[in-house]
Amino acid sequence: MSEQNIYILGIESSCDDTAAAVIHNGKILSNVIANQKIHEAYGGVVPELASRAHQQNIVPVVSQALTKANITKNQLHAIAFTRGPGLMGSLLVGTSFAKSLAYGLNIPLVDVNHMQAHILAHFIDEEGFNKPPFPFIGMTISGGHTQIVKVSSFFDMEVIGETIDDAVGEAFDKSGKILGLGYPAGPIIDKLAKLGNPKKFQFTKPKVDGLNFSFSGLKTAILYFIQTETKANPNFIEENLNDICASIQYTIIEILIDKLKLATKKTGIKHIAIGGGVSANSGIRQALKDGEHKFGWTTYVPKFEFTTDNAAMIAIVGYLKFLDNTFANQSVTASARLKI
Ligand code: KG4
Ligand code: ZN
């Protein structure tokens, strides 16, 4: 078997997206995601419903990934799957499916840490996207995670900062809920913020030592602010929505950029690679780019479809671990709190 001709199936089911992707060497041939719309009605992910939807979606999603890649399951060299962290009921579906498929096909199984995968998504071969050189700082920002990681090599990663309460995406989503916006609110706030004045309202930034984050205080500050203002003027939100969104987004960006500045200072590393759904935010992208001139760092943002939860990032880790001969055996179990 030539190293130049390896097909790996990646399976991701850690939260509310059922995803499967096929990678051929380092290049993605298919990247299929079934989003679970059902959670929108609840304003957040309902674990029990997520698990049930994964069971319904997993077979069609995997089969579509193989069809789109134009291969059959018999051409696969390994099955990679998300072992954790995530929701146990969701992880169990992908884990059990991957184990059964690998067993049935008699091919190796590769367990993947979802947080490592968000970072290693940068190593997918994709035209127009540069891969960060080691060592670099990885920052994963999404609805479930906020982490700063020192990445010394593919499998040598150290978490140097993380949130002690809410994730940054939750800060967007919960603020949006207070303002009566839809779910997820991040993209809506991003859009409205473009039309508003980011300095109109000030919110106190949390004081958290070192490289850790806290976002729950900001959410409470926004809630009290809105309650006070709407008491005085019931139309306060609609009259100021763009400015409120711009000011919230501005505060969140400042929090993230402050920590990145500290991370580059502490580590001496100037390459920054971001991932996770919140990295789609136009204000954050702009602030990172501005930082290239202001602070002398270089930033890397993967293709959008590889930043949100997806299976292509699981497949690339599967490929890298395959080359490294690191496999799981059939006794592997899902781990909701798996650490990097
Ligand atoms: O990575 P992702 O799709 O799923 C996980 O949470 O793992 O991230 C979803 C999060 C949500 O909180 C959503 O509001 C946020 O990413 N998001 C954004 C934007 N697009 C998605 N937040 C701010 N600005 C955006 N443009
Ligand atoms: Zn994720």
pLDDT single digits (tens) 252-265: 999 999 999 999 99
Spatial neighbors of 28 by CB under 8 A, at least 6 apart, are 21, 22, 124, 125, 126, 306, 312, 315, 316
Residue 86 is predicted with a pLDDT of 94
Question: Which ligand has the shortest distance to the CA of 167?
Answer: 1
Same-domain check for residues 176 and 76: no
Same-domain check for residues 280 and 312: no
Among residues of the chain, what percentage have pLDDT more than 70?
A: 99
- Cα(267) to centroid of ligand 2, in Å? 25
Residue 262 maps to a domain = yes
Name the residue range of residue 253's domain. 136-301
Same-domain check for residues 79 and 225: no
Task: With beta carbons less than 8 A apart as the criterion, state whether 311 and 57 touch.
Answer: no
Same-domain check for residues 94 and 141: no
Residue 333 maps to a domain = no
Same-domain check for residues 150 and 28: no
Number of domains in the chain: 2
Residue 233: pLDDT above 80?
yes
| Whole-number Å distance between alpha carbons of 312 and 305 | 9
The residue type at 233:
N
Ion ligand 2 contact residues with beta carbon within 5 A? 142, 309
Same-domain check for residues 163 and 311: no
Give the Cβ contact number of residue 58 at 10 Å.
22
Residue 221: pLDDT above 90?
yes
Rounding to the nearest 10 degrees, give the CA dihedral for residues 97, 99, 102, 104: -80
Residue 130 maps to a domain = no
Same-domain check for residues 54 and 191: no
Quote the DSSP letter at residue 319: H
β-pairing, 146-153 vs 136-141, is antiparallel
Residue 70 maps to a domain = yes
Give the Cβ contact number of residue 43 at 10 Å.
15
Residue 16 is predicted with a pLDDT of 86
Same-domain check for residues 86 and 157: no
Question: Which ligand has the shortest distance to the CA of 187?
Answer: 1
Residue 338 maps to a domain = no
Peptide bond into 206 cis (omega under 30): no
Polymer length of the chain: 340
Same-domain check for residues 170 and 118: no
249 Cα nearest atom in ligand 1:
23
- Cα(237) to centroid of ligand 2, in Å? 31
Quote the DSSP letter at residue 130: P
- Cα(78) to centroid of ligand 2, in Å? 22
pTM for this entry: 0.94
- Cα(141) to centroid of ligand 1, in Å? 8
Question: pLDDT confidence of 2, banded at 50, 70, 90?
Answer: very low
Which residue puts its alpha carbon closest to atom 10 of ligand 1?
143
- Cα(53) to centroid of ligand 1, in Å? 20
Residue 225 is predicted with a pLDDT of 98
Question: Which ligand has the shortest distance to the CA of 40?
Answer: 1
Same-domain check for residues 171 and 287: yes
Same-domain check for residues 281 and 311: no
14 Cα nearest atom in ligand 1:
7
Please name the residue that has the structure tokens 């919960």. 174
Residue 270: pLDDT above 80?
yes
* Residues within a 6 A CB radius of ligand 1: 15, 142-144, 169, 172-173, 184-187, 190, 276-278, 280-281, 308-309
- Cα(50) to centroid of ligand 2, in Å? 15
Residue 167: pLDDT above 50?
yes
| Whole-number Å distance between alpha carbons of 16 and 53 | 8
Question: Which ligand has the shortest distance to the CA of 114?
Answer: 2
Same-domain check for residues 222 and 284: yes
282 Cα nearest atom in ligand 1:
26
CATH number at residue 278: 3.30.420.40
Dig out the tokens for 87 from the structure.
Answer: 């929701």
Residue 42: pLDDT above 80?
no
| Whole-number Å distance between alpha carbons of 335 and 157 | 18
User: For 281-301, what is the mean pLDDT?
Assistant: 97
- Mutation to probe ligand 1, out of 13, 119, 142 (largest number of atoms < 8 A from CB): 142
- Would you list the DSSP string of 178-205? HTT--SS-HHHHHHHHTTS-TTSS--PP
pLDDT single digits (tens) 64-121: 999 999 999 999 999 999 999 999 999 999 999 999 999 999 999 999 999 999 999 9
Residue 203 maps to a domain = yes
Residue 1 is predicted with a pLDDT of 46
Question: pLDDT confidence of 3, banded at 50, 70, 90?
Answer: low
| Whole-number Å distance between alpha carbons of 83 and 97 | 12
Residue 328 maps to a domain = no
Residue 47 is predicted with a pLDDT of 85
Give the Cβ contact number of residue 339 at 10 Å.
9
Backbone angles phi, psi at 193, to 5 degrees: -60, -30
Peptide bond into 302 cis (omega under 30): no
Spatial neighbors of 164 by CB under 8 A, at least 6 apart, are 208, 212, 213, 214
- Cα(326) to centroid of ligand 1, in Å? 31
Residue 330 maps to a domain = no
173 Cα nearest atom in ligand 1:
14
Q: Where are the beta strands (DSSP E) in 218-332?
A: 271-275, 298-300
